[in-house]
Amino acid sequence: MVAINFTSEQEANQQVELEQGETVLDGLLRAGHDIPYGCRAGVCQSCIMQCSSKNMPSQAQQGLKPAQKELGYFLACNCLPSEIMDVSTAVSKSEKVSAKILEKTYLNNNVLRLRIDKVFDYKPGQFCTLWKNKTVSRCYSLASIPQKENFLEFHIKKLDKGQFSKWAHNDLQVGDSIGVQGPLGECFYSYTDISKPLFLAGIGTGLSPLYGVLRDALERGHNGNINLVLGAKNADDFYLVDDLLALERRYIQLNVHFVAQTLLKSDDNKHIVEADIYEYIHQVVPDFKNQRVFLCGADSFVKKMKRRCFMAGANMPDISADAFLAFNQ
Amino acid sequence: MSVYESIGGAAAVDAAVDIFYRKVLSDDRISHFFDDVDMDGMRAKQKSFLTMAFGGPNEYTGKDMREAHKHMNLTEEHFTAVAEALVGTLNELEVPQEHIDEIVNIAVSVKDDVLNV
């Protein structure tokens, strides 16, 4: 007889004894818990749940993305546990906590690097919600890496009417506290990615999650080829250029590409090319078969690239995308 | 044993879905229907469709099929294009012809609902 410990938003640690050959879904339903479900065959993923113990049968994760697997997601209808499991209804909502501002640095004319206390653990590339006050909040991706850095890092672009970004740029001071909630999202590097060719592409501050993902991959000993393609309107929209070039020199498997829509005659940046980013990417990576893909930035870019990468051979579970919603205020 | 079981169940659907979706998006007769859809959501729908076509467990009803395709003005040509993508996928995965025949029969059985005739 196997038992499961079940936690939902309403109740914590309810123990349910499973009968012989009974799935987690069937056991929970029999015990009167309200679990969403559909096909009961591991296809529709309606009954997705999260397991905090490390003893889940692999069958229960069939069809999930590597990132979901790493977060302990599984399908309750396909799960026949052989030992006790701690399970909860996905996705647990996190509490808002307070964190101190440690550093404010300008990375270029309009991108601010904000470093705050590391108030929780996370995977680089996931995102958080930052709160200006009780009503105004925005989501930002994590550019830091927890294994080396004792802070959370965000890249905040100043928008003309940005209620949050203008405040962060102009008013927020080192030593102030800010509300932070998270982390969320599945755009991060997984242990299964280690020797795959990696393709990272981003526009503007789409670099922030990619900077986290890239350094996480390198720290974890990624040995496949890596292409990082960054796009911007003009040469001076890029940031962290020197840091990225230093990484490129240090890691032979890494190639960094800066692609500007328009270069001025006065730009003397020999590492920046002027090109259409879609055409350029097609030249660099004509075939996306087996590539592990990360796409970050404006929604239109991410959507278009996702389709192009898929059509050029990437499989959908290997494409992680983080589309920034256009908040102009 | 059902066709679904004999070709490998959920794992067969996983193996087929990206190949199938890519064929659908490459076909000028139907690709425009997929221009503005969320790719992850559509992939989940394609998985449900393939599970149904493979004779696997599903909750598809004729009514759902009608409703989902109602305002798309689909014709015989569109249905043929999807059927070809399906057969092409199964050929690529080297599914035996007898199973392919059975799967095509299931797909054809929902044709009237899909075309709303």
Domain B3-115, CATH among 3.10.310.50, 1.10.490.10, 1.10.10.10, 1.10.3720.10: 1.10.490.10
Structural domain containing residue A305: 191-324
| Per-residue pLDDT, A36 | 80
Q: Is residue A73 domain-shared with residue A108, that is, in the same domain?
A: no
Last residue of one domain, picked from the residues A159, A184, A209: A184
Residue A140 in tokens: 């930002």
A317/A113: higher pLDDT: A113
pLDDT tens digits for A12-28?
Answer: 788 999 998 899 999 99
3-state secondary structure of B67: helix
pLDDT tens digits for B18-51?
Answer: 999 999 999 999 999 998 888 988 998 899 899 9
Residue among A41, A45, A311 whose CB faces B44 most closely: A45
| Per-residue pLDDT, A92 | 53
Q: Which residues, in sequence order, are bridge partners of residue A201?
A: A229, A295
Q: How many domains does chain A have?
A: 3
Residue among B26, B39, B51 whose CB faces A43 most closely: B51
Say whether A315 and B26 touch across the interface (CB within 8 A). no
CATH code (residue A106): 2.40.30.10
Percent of chain A with pLDDT over 90: 66
Residue ranges of the domains in chain B?
Answer: 3-115
Say whether B17 and A316 touch across the interface (CB within 8 A). yes
ipTM of the complex: 0.89
Residue A15 covered by a domain: yes
B43–chain A Cβ distance below 8 A for any pair: yes
Quote the CA–CA distance of B5 and A192 in Å, as a whole number.
28
Residue among A38, A63, A306 whose CB faces B10 most closely: A63
Say whether B14 and A39 touch across the interface (CB within 8 A). no
CATH code (residue A38): 3.10.20.30
From the list A21, A78, A6, the residue with the least C-alpha distance to A47 is A78
pLDDT tens digits for A89-118?
Answer: 866 556 789 999 999 999 999 999 999 999
Contacts of A39 in chain B (CB under 8 A): 48, 51, 57-59
Contacts of B44 in chain A (CB under 8 A): 44-45
| Per-residue pLDDT, B58 | 78
Question: Residue A329 above 50 pLDDT?
Answer: no
Question: Residue B5 above 50 pLDDT?
Answer: yes
CATH code (residue A213): 3.40.50.80
Quote the CA–CA distance of A24 and A35 in Å, as a whole number.
10
pLDDT tens digits for A116-125?
Answer: 999 999 999 9
**pLDDT-based confidence at residue A47 (cuts at 50, 70, 90):** confident
What is the average pLDDT across A211-237? 96
| DSSP 8-state assignment for residue B57 | S
Last residue of one domain, picked from the residues A184, A215, A242: A184
Q: Is residue A213 domain-shared with residue A299, that is, in the same domain?
A: yes
Q: Is residue A85 domain-shared with residue A106, that is, in the same domain?
A: no
Half-sphere exposure of A316 (CA within 13 A, CB side): 22
Q: Is residue A145 domain-shared with residue A262, that is, in the same domain?
A: no
Alpha-carbon gap: A42 to the closest alpha carbon of chain B (Å):
7
Residue A329 covered by a domain: no
Quote the CA–CA distance of A328 and B16 in Å, as a whole number.
41
**pLDDT-based confidence at residue A222 (cuts at 50, 70, 90):** very high
**Interface size, chain A vs chain B, as Cβ–Cβ contacts under 8 Å:** 54
Residue A291 covered by a domain: yes
B28–chain A Cβ distance below 8 A for any pair: no
Last residue of one domain, picked from the residues A184, A208, A242: A184
Residue A263 covered by a domain: yes
| Per-residue pLDDT, A8 | 82
Query: For residue A184, which amino acid is it?
Result: L
